[in-house]
């Protein structure tokens, strides 16, 4: 017989938006359960950017991803959530006045409402064509810690925020940092691009890493620019080429999806009864994908879910700063 768990609100996704939603649901007196396919709390931030400085959270001019997650986890703890980590939500069915979500380990969670805060869904990094067979032997897709790169010649491939953030943070640690991008234009934030230009990082454009060489471990790379190839020392390559996102089983639940995002109304409701969504996974006119926006959407979703869970409740609970 499958393990069963009953809760008022089931949150699918344990990233920043999901963690804040858990806290807010507790503030509204709900019982909470959180499911995430990753083994740790914090979503993409924990998996990929724990050392990244995050600049768009109200009240913090700058805060490391790791520190933000720690604060959100501590805040969520006040709701005493039940965590189901390293497990994937696979099925969703409506039963009477509840929603039953099945997990890939056979567990069933019966909730009065569901909030999907799954970010970009399950994600996998885009491969570096020349890097086949080098993963873990000098090639990595993420930089969760800077220390392993101390004193090394590092080549970063990509032109987005991750590539430039890692270049900027590795520059004072590594022996050298070279950023290789196939175009002259970059997707990264202009301020970060300028900071890298002002550093000792070498930027090579209209280029690609065409080969990796070494005896067991990485020793050098070939960089091809306009058809001409040069070889340079490299003990580490970081391929920051973006990700392939997949909503996975969510797409089979009958939820309205638009370009890999879940369509919601101003109350954060999906087209399914008792199912809400918030954060990067949502889509509506004027949507802006920022952590700060996700926090607001989480509160909106939880307050509207409160009325679904308890029809005698009010959407607006009063301010958290008000005394009893």
> What CATH number should be reported for the domain holding residue 83?
3.50.50.60
For residues 168 and 200, is the Cβ–Cβ distance under 8 A? Answer: no
Asked if residue 18 belongs to a domain, the reply is yes
Q: Is 321 annotated as a binding residue?
A: yes
Asked if residue 322 belongs to a domain, the reply is no
Same domain, 181 and 256: no
Measured distance CA(137)–CA(50) in Å, rounded: 22
pLDDT at 61 over 80: yes
Asked if residue 188 belongs to a domain, the reply is yes
Q: Is 198 annotated as a binding residue?
A: no
pTM: 0.76
Domain of 47 in residue numbering reads as 4-123+243-309
Asked if residue 167 belongs to a domain, the reply is yes
Q: Is 49 annotated as a binding residue?
A: yes
Q: Is 123 annotated as a binding residue?
A: yes
Same domain, 135 and 230: yes
The pLDDT confidence band at residue 324, using thresholds 50, 70 and 90, is very low
What does the pLDDT look like over 208-261, one tens digit per residue? 999 999 998 999 999 999 889 999 999 999 999 987 777 788 888 999 999 889
Average pLDDT over residues 149-155: 97
> What's the pLDDT at 317?
77
Q: Is 17 annotated as a binding residue?
A: yes
Q: Which comes out higher in pLDDT, residue 227 or 176?
A: 176
Same domain, 51 and 157: no
Domain end (from 184, 219, 239): 239
> What's the pLDDT at 321?
57
Q: Is 265 annotated as a binding residue?
A: no
In the chain, % of residues over pLDDT 70: 96
Measured distance CA(270)–CA(115) in Å, rounded: 10
Residues in the chain: 324
Reference 244, options 126, 119, 117; nearest CA is 126
Asked if residue 60 belongs to a domain, the reply is yes
Domain end (from 239, 268, 300): 239
Structural tokens at position 266: 């101003």
For residues 264 and 270, is the Cβ–Cβ distance under 8 A? Answer: yes
The distance of Cα 180 from the centroid of its chain, to the nearest Å, equals: 24
Q: Is 36 annotated as a binding residue?
A: yes
Asked if residue 320 belongs to a domain, the reply is no
Measured distance CA(231)–CA(221) in Å, rounded: 6
Same domain, 139 and 29: no
DSSP secondary structure letters along 213-224: E-SSS--EEEEE
pLDDT at 279 over 50: yes
> What's the pLDDT at 144?
78
Same domain, 164 and 275: no
Asked if residue 184 belongs to a domain, the reply is yes
Rg (C-alpha) for the chain, rounded Å, is 22
Domain end (from 239, 267, 297): 239
Same domain, 81 and 158: no
Same domain, 152 and 210: yes
Q: Is 83 annotated as a binding residue?
A: no
Residue 61 CB burial class (10 angstroms; 0-12, 13-18, ≥19):
exposed
Same domain, 196 and 107: no
> What's the pLDDT at 37?
87
Cβ atoms < 10 Å from Cβ of 148: 11
DSSP secondary structure letters along 252-290: GTT--EETTEEE--TT-B-SSTTEEE-STTEE-TT----
For residues 263 and 283, is the Cβ–Cβ distance under 8 A? Answer: yes
How many structural domains compose the chain? 2
The pLDDT confidence band at residue 145, using thresholds 50, 70 and 90, is confident
Same domain, 117 and 11: yes
Beta pairing class for 176-180 and 202-204: parallel
For residues 264 and 276, is the Cβ–Cβ distance under 8 A? Answer: yes
Asked if residue 141 belongs to a domain, the reply is yes
Same domain, 107 and 150: no
What does the pLDDT look like over 69-123, one tens digit per residue? 999 999 999 999 999 998 999 999 998 889 999 999 999 999 999 999 988 766 6
Measured distance CA(181)–CA(190) in Å, rounded: 16
Same domain, 248 and 119: yes
Same domain, 221 and 263: no
């Amino acid at each position: 017989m499958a393990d069963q768990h009953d809760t008022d609100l089931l949150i699918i996704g344990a990233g920043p938006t999901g963690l804040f939603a858990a806290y807010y649901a507790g503030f509204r007196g709900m019982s909470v359960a959180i499911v995430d396919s990753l083994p740790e709390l914090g979503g993409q931030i924990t998996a990929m950017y724990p050392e990244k400085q995050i600049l768009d959270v109200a009240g913090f001019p700058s805060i490391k991803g790791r520190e933000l997650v720690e604060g959100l986890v501590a805040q969520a703890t006040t709701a005493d959530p039940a965590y189901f980590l390293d497990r994937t939500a696979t099925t969703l069915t409506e039963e009477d006045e509840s929603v039953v979500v099945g997990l890939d380990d056979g567990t069933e969670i019966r909730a009065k409402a569901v909030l999907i805060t799954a970010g970009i869904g399950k994600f996998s990094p885009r491969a570096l064509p020349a890097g086949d067979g080098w993963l873990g032997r000098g090639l990595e897709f993420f930089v969760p810690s800077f220390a392993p790169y101390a004193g090394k010649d590092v080549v970063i491939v990509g032109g987005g925020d991750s590539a430039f953030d890692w270049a900027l943070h590795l520059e004072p640690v590594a022996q050298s940092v070279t950023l290789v991008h196939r175009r002259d234009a970059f997707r990264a934030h202009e301020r970060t691009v300028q900071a890298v230009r002002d550093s000792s990082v070498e930027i090579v454009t209209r280029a690609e890493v065409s080969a990796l060489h070494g005896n067991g471990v990485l020793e050098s790379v070939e960089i091809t620019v306009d058809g001409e190839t040069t070889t340079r020392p490299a003990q580490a390559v970081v391929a920051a080429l973006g990700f392939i996102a997949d909503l996975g089983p969510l797409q089979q639940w009958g939820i309205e999806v638009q370009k890999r995002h879940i369509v919601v109304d101003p109350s954060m409701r999906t087209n399914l009864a008792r199912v809400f969504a918030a954060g990067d996974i949502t889509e509506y006119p004027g949507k802006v994908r920022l952590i700060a926006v996700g926090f607001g959407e989480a509160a909106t979703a939880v307050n509207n879910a409160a009325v679904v869970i308890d029809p005698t409740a009010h959407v607006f609970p009063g301010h958290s700063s008000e005394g009893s």
